[in-house]
Structure 1
Amino acid sequence: MRRALALLLPALLLLLAGCGVRSHSVLSRSYHAFNTRYNYLTNAEEAFNRTYRSALLSPSMQTDTLLPPLDVAAHVAYNAFVQHQPLSTFSQTVQKCRMAIEKHSLLSNDREHNPAMGRIYLLLASSYFYEGRLPDAEALFLYLENLYIRDEPIKATVHCWLIRCRLLYGHIEEAARLMEDNRSSLSNNAPEWLYLLTEAELQLAAGNDAEALNHIRSLARYAPGVELKARAYLLAGLLNYRLGKEMQETNKNLRKAVNLPIALADEVTAHLLLAGQNKKSEETIKRMFMKPRYANARPRLAYTLGQIYSEQRRYNEAEETFLSGIDSSTENQRVYVRKNLLGAANLCECRNSYDAASGYYRRWLETEPPQDTLYNRLLVRYAAIHDLLLNSAVIEREDSLLQVASMPPEEREHIIDNRIKAHRKQLLDEGSFDSREQNVRKAVENSYQDFPSDSAESFYFYNPQLVAAGRQLFERQWGYRLPEDHWQRKNKTVQKGGTIEQRETGNFTKAQTDPLHRDYHLAELPLTAEQKRAAQKRILKSLETMATIYRDSLQRPDLAARTEQECTRRQADFSKQSQLMK
């Protein structure tokens, strides 16, 4: 009996305490804290960490110094703030936090009675910070500073974030004053990694590289994720070099960064470029590339070496290195496949090898989901290069036909006979003459996109150049066809060839419909003055289009000017030829 009373009495006291007259009783606070912690806080923290770690892998923003930013996500947020285009990357975290506040906040008399709500508020304000909503983030942090004035850990965390807000605004003196007033509290109560990150950013902004280096080294040990560790090690290597310390210490930090499970190829590149194309750095990367224990980092190292070779104008070595990075990348390293593909494409553009660049861009577009601005930008660039190559092919073909047409008949027929032999050999290699139609159909299917266009937004029915290119491709593959139904043209297939009158009447000879006969190829040649003028117009039109693409789409004014000069020269030559033909 006594044992039962001993158990019943505490339960009764607990029940009475939970059923008090206050609006926020013990049971009420326990219920809301439990739901907040396990229904919302856990999911919100997972979403925040996932998004933040992904943001740390973003390419570095351009800064005023050669040092890349320590926290790339913060610089991305600042860029969004300056452009008045807030991000929505942390929307899932924001949604969870708002729902938790709406359903489980126990705010009364300027006091939050739910003990788990402080972390929810911090997550919400941090999400605002990284989305570029700096005024909202700062306002919420100031509110939390007053709301949790007696909670030292939350208060210290809020001060760290307020200092970071001041730094993004450019108020370095104000941030330094706030740090000086609260340094003891921050170092003892704030999360270790957040305090070290804040100190490092403040010292970097103030130009105190030596002080910043000490905090960055500590951050590399205490950072909660491998992404931030990698950035800390890489920035430590950069500061080592900037402060004139031994190259051995610089390369030691570099090796630590690259050997982490996730490293950042663009920051490794920044390190080596800053190191003045130092031969020791290049040799260090080469040795790491060859060692088996760095096999997982090989795609990143390939990207780095390729960038270094490109800066040194060692283009052949750069392209080989990029390709080795593409080949050695595994399925879980697709980001480095894309980096190496872009590096190879940019290299080919520098060498004016747009044919190879088009192939690299196409492979990149096939590996990247169409969901970001970079994809859209590179898709437009790929389309411009594609149009450029098609117009170049038109010029090459028309030049070739004009040259053959100007030859003596014997020499012209000799060239045509060689072309027929090559075509016959190709048909034999493909299997048999009976498979010709199937091969032609396959060629059409593979090249149905190969139409140059004046504008990507022009509807193709109203684009004369596109329509002409389509008609030319159709006739080249299928021959000239009369506008009649299938039952009318059954057993009357008409191939390209003959004169305009023959096309209109359908009166073709067998030789003019057979690609293995000399008359078929003679029909393609511009032998009359009218046909030559038409070919010259196509050449000039393609040159004008190429100049526009160089200038407007590829930002190559030098090549645009060169192409315009070529167009002017050809136009003068064609005018002289026209006068001579008269």
Structure 2
Amino acid sequence: MSRYFRHHLFLFYTVLTTLTVGLNSCSQYSTKPVSKGYHNLTAHFNAYVIARDEIAQAEQELFKKRQENYSQLLPILLPIDSIQTLSVKPQLDDAIKKASLIPERHQNSKWLDNAYILIGRARLLKQDLPNAIEVFKYVNTKGTNEDDKHTALVGLMRAYTEASDYTNALNVAEYLRNQPLNKINTRDFYLTKAYLHERQGEYATAVGILDATFPVLKKGEVTARLHLIAGQLYDLIGQPAKAVDHYRKVLKSRPTYDQSFYANLYAIQSNGLTGDQKRMAQSNETFEELLKDHKNADLKDKIYFTMGLLEARSGRTDKAIKLYSQSIQAAGSNTQQVPYTYLEIGKLYFEKKADYTHAKMYYDSALALLPKQSPDYATLLNRKKTLDEFVLYQITIRTDDSLLHLAQLDPAALDKQLNDVIAKQEKADKAQADLAKQIIDKATNGNINSVPGATNSNLQPGERWILYNPVNLSQGRQEFTSRWGNRPLEDNWRRSNKESSEAVAGVNSPVSGASPANSVNPNATLSTADVSGPVADLTSPAAGRKAKKDAMMAKIPFTKEAQTAANQRIENALYKLGKLYKFQLNQPADAIPTFEQLLTRYPNTLQKPEVYYLLYLSNEQLGKASSWKDKLLAEYPNTSYARLTGKAAAHTTDSEAQALKTYTAIYELYKTNPTEALARAETAMSGMAGTQLEDKLALLRVMLIGKVQNVDAYRQALNEFVRDYPGSQLLPRVKEMQTAADQATAKRK
């Protein structure tokens, strides 16, 4: 080694040693250039870069592992999922640890704000939203760099959105909207704000913001996904032409196979929405090609679903149901699409066929598989409750009507009828047992170690094991409830002294929802579910038959009291079924014959004034002339229903002064002679219509009914007031009275 080289090496070593000693003695609070340079260098490479890369790697891994539900609107930003984040939790924890070194050891570093932002991002991904919000707030308050503060505010808006605190998220967005954001913050701000509006259901605003974002995005899987979402949003707001444009852009953005597949399917659906018959005709060839492509082997259910959707839009309901059924059969073990297919079938039965019994079964199946966070879940649950009531009323009418018919038979005919019912049920049970054996043999193929149902998807729909078939499972649950009542899970649940519920919750065989007149049939076919109670578990066939027959006989209303109770149940079911048709199902054509049956079979029903009024409304809704309004005014002129027809208001002649005089006179009578006061109030109600004292007199009438009549009449009068005067200032007082009346009734019981 030359002397010259050794000399320079010694000088370099001396300088390096001096710098190292000097830098190590630098305080993290010093503002000297050497100290700040040292801490900037160390904070950047020893902490910030490592934490940044770990968070980026975690985000990439979460994006790759995401589970997209293409049956629903995709979220613009991937929602924070604590379960999915478990796989990257060690990376996030380490990133927080590394980033935390900067505020601990390098306070004078220029990377301090960036470190806090990384900590906030990691906590956001871990769904530690309160701490993420606090970190982002801290950067915005204490930060020194405006771009970093804007980045923190975008993160804060995202955290508020994930916490469903939309008010604060919008406040942050409104502030950022007026700030000079850099290119990256502008992109992230637009995407986060679009996501915020999507979460709120403001799809037009969301897609408008999304459109403004695409110019700053690079081609790739992320951008292809956003184009797909933009197409979905345009479809939802009824702009299919723009939707198709975005679906085509998906194919130009380097998409994954799934993204290109669904972009093609959605484009076909959107063209169907525009009524492009030529494109619809070509779609059949497209579907044939898609079904033949081996790459789509696990996507056939989506193809059949789309085919069914297009048929439904074209009005071919039966063909649509058939294709939807093929979609369910093709799903196999992948049930992601299945609940939405059940939902569409249920809608067709409900809206197009008015077959509410079948609609209920498919809605039950959809709810069994539909995620509770789905936007369709709440609506579907409400509709299912309506259909549960519908089936309950129809079963009540059918069952009690059949039992009343049996009670009229002579002993020989009754005995024969019961024997026929038992024989039919035994035959059905044997057929079911034989089918179950065939299913087991076919599924296991002789291999006793085969898991039951492992090859279930290869069986015909009617052969599938019931626990893997949601429709059959729902039917079985209804049949059980119909036969045994609502029983808790406990030992000896079949004991004969347990009472089976009178209000059965299901149906054994389809009953047409469109023909309520046919649902009351004295000669209806009976089943053991209609007349049997708990069946004794006896080994002797003869003893078992006798026990079944005894259980059936016990439910038949032979006594006058039992027949009266059965008729009351039928009367109540007809009344509620008619109202359900009129209001919940909006089927006045079905409500009319239901109410007419009620009046024919039970002419003295207490609901007659209301039924008259509902018949008048139903006929008016259908544009039919009827005499129900005249009958109501003639027979019940002083009822609230008569006033609701509008006739009373037309005859209002009293001035406000006269109305006040009338009210004062009735109020004085209220104190001394409530019976006379009630009679005058009933007469004066029509004359008070349209005056400022109308609701006050109506409330006085309610109070008089409470004094003169029983508590049931009082509660009905309160309900009528709530219905007739929804805008009255007296309504809070009336609701308090309702609560008190309900409590008094409960104590009496």
TM-score of the superposed pair, with normalisation by structure 1: 0.58
Name the structure 1 match of 2:341: 340
Determine the C-alpha separation between the residues in 2 that align with 1:425 and 1:112: 84
In 2 relative to 1, CA 478–224 (structure 1 residues): closer, same or farther, beyond 3 Å? closer
Letter paired with 1:340: T
In 2 relative to 1, CA 109–396 (structure 1 residues): closer, same or farther, beyond 3 Å? same
Name the structure 2 match of 1:478: 534
Determine the C-alpha separation between the residues in 1 that align with 2:85 and 2:286: 40
Q: Which deviations, in whole Å up to 9, do the C-alpha atoms of 1:223-253 show, x marking residues without a partner?
A: 53763353256679999977789x8x67744
Number of aligned residue pairs: give it: 494
Name the structure 1 match of 2:225: 227
Q: What is the 5 A alignment of 1:101-500? A: 104-105=102-103, 112-114=110-112, 117=115, 120=118, 123=121, 147-149=144-146, 169=170, 186=183, 190=184, 194=188, 216=214, 219=217, 221-222=219-220, 224=222, 227-232=225-230, 252-253=248-249, 260-262=257-259, 268=266, 272=270, 275-283=273-281, 285-290=283-288, 291=290, 292-293=292-293, 295=296, 297-329=299-331, 331=333, 333-350=334-351, 351-367=353-369, 382=384, 385-386=387-388, 388-403=390-405, 418-419=420-421, 421-423=423-425, 425-426=427-428, 429=431, 448-450=480-482, 467-469=501-503, 476-478=532-534
Determine the C-alpha separation between the residues in 1 that align with 2:409 and 2:247: 65
Q: Which deviations, in whole Å up to 9, do the C-alpha atoms of 1:266-290 show, x marking residues without a partner?
A: 9938961894233345446544433
Q: Percent identity?
A: 14
Aligned-pair CA distance for 1:19: 0.4
Name the structure 1 match of 2:565: 534
Name the structure 1 match of 2:445: none
Asked whether the 8 Å contact 2:55–2:122 carries over to 1, the reply is: no
Determine the C-alpha separation between the residues in 1 that align with 2:242 and 2:544: 80
Aligned-pair CA distance for 1:29: 6.2
Letter paired with 1:148: N
Aligned-pair CA distance for 1:374: 6.5
Pairing partner for 2:27 from 22, 35, 38 = 22
Asked whether the 8 Å contact 1:512–1:520 carries over to 2, the reply is: no
Asked whether the 8 Å contact 1:515–1:521 carries over to 2, the reply is: yes
In 2 relative to 1, CA 139–406 (structure 1 residues): closer, same or farther, beyond 3 Å? same
**How big is the alpha-carbon RMSD for the aligned residues of Structure 1 and Structure 2?**
6.5
DSSP-derived class of the 1:335 partner? coil
Aligned-pair CA distance for 1:302: 4.0
Letter paired with 2:275: Q
Q: Which deviations, in whole Å up to 9, do the C-alpha atoms of 1:469-489 show, x marking residues without a partner?
A: 58x9799243599xxxxxxxx
Asked whether the 8 Å contact 1:302–1:325 carries over to 2, the reply is: yes
Stretch of structure 1 that moved more, 3-12 or 280-289:
3-12
In 2 relative to 1, CA 60–564 (structure 1 residues): closer, same or farther, beyond 3 Å? same
Letter paired with 1:50: L
Asked whether the 8 Å contact 2:534–2:551 carries over to 1, the reply is: no
Q: 1:569 aligned to 2:581? A: no
Name the structure 2 match of 1:460: none
DSSP-derived class of the 1:105 partner? helix
Asked whether the 8 Å contact 2:268–2:283 carries over to 1, the reply is: no
Asked whether the 8 Å contact 1:223–1:229 carries over to 2, the reply is: no
Determine the C-alpha separation between the residues in 1 that align with 2:428 and 2:120: 70
Name the structure 2 match of 1:484: none
Give the unaligned 5+ runs of structure 1: 62-69, 78-86, 433-442, 454-463, 482-489, 496-509, 578-582
Asked whether the 8 Å contact 1:237–1:250 carries over to 2, the reply is: no
Name the structure 2 match of 1:513: 546
DSSP-derived class of the 1:12 partner? helix
In 2 relative to 1, CA 176–269 (structure 1 residues): closer, same or farther, beyond 3 Å? same
In 2 relative to 1, CA 52–477 (structure 1 residues): closer, same or farther, beyond 3 Å? same
Aligned-pair CA distance for 1:53: 8.9
Determine the C-alpha separation between the residues in 2 that align with 1:480 and 1:525: 18
Determine the C-alpha separation between the residues in 1 that align with 2:332 and 2:133: 42
Determine the C-alpha separation between the residues in 1 that align with 2:262 and 2:499: 45
Determine the C-alpha separation between the residues in 1 that align with 2:134 and 2:303: 40
Stretch of structure 1 that moved more, 51-60 or 281-290:
51-60
DSSP-derived class of the 1:393 partner? helix
In 2 relative to 1, CA 349–88 (structure 1 residues): closer, same or farther, beyond 3 Å? farther
Determine the C-alpha separation between the residues in 2 that align with 1:444 and 1:323: 20
Aligned-pair CA distance for 1:323: 2.6
Determine the C-alpha separation between the residues in 2 that align with 1:511 and 1:121: 72
Aligned-pair CA distance for 1:221: 1.8
Aligned-pair CA distance for 1:171: 11
Letter paired with 1:573: R
Determine the C-alpha separation between the residues in 2 that align with 1:220 and 1:302: 34
Stretch of structure 1 that moved more, 190-199 or 351-360:
190-199
Determine the C-alpha separation between the residues in 2 that align with 1:342 and 1:319: 11
Asked whether the 8 Å contact 2:234–2:240 carries over to 1, the reply is: no
Determine the C-alpha separation between the residues in 1 that align with 2:151 and 2:580: 53
Aligned-pair CA distance for 1:429: 4.8
Q: 1:50 aligned to 2:59? A: no
Aligned-pair CA distance for 1:403: 4.1
Q: Which deviations, in whole Å up to 9, do the C-alpha atoms of 1:514-560 show, x marking residues without a partner?
A: 658xx986776545544432322222344456568778xxx825259
Letter paired with 1:402: L
Stretch of structure 1 that moved more, 397-406 or 234-243:
234-243
In 2 relative to 1, CA 102–253 (structure 1 residues): closer, same or farther, beyond 3 Å? closer
TM-score of the superposed pair, with normalisation by structure 2: 0.47
Stretch of structure 1 that moved more, 290-299 or 41-50:
41-50
Aligned-pair CA distance for 1:120: 0.9
Asked whether the 8 Å contact 1:219–1:229 carries over to 2, the reply is: no
Q: Which deviations, in whole Å up to 9, do the C-alpha atoms of 1:28-50 show, x marking residues without a partner?
A: 96368645554686258626973
Asked whether the 8 Å contact 2:224–2:251 carries over to 1, the reply is: no
Stretch of structure 1 that moved more, 343-352 or 214-223:
214-223
Name the structure 1 match of 2:441: none
Determine the C-alpha separation between the residues in 1 that align with 2:82 and 2:339: 24
Q: Which deviations, in whole Å up to 9, do the C-alpha atoms of 1:407-465 show, x marking residues without a partner?
A: 78887777556545534644665789xxxxxxxxxx99995545778xxxxxxxxxx99
Greater relative contact order (CA < 8 Å, ≥ 6 in sequence): 1
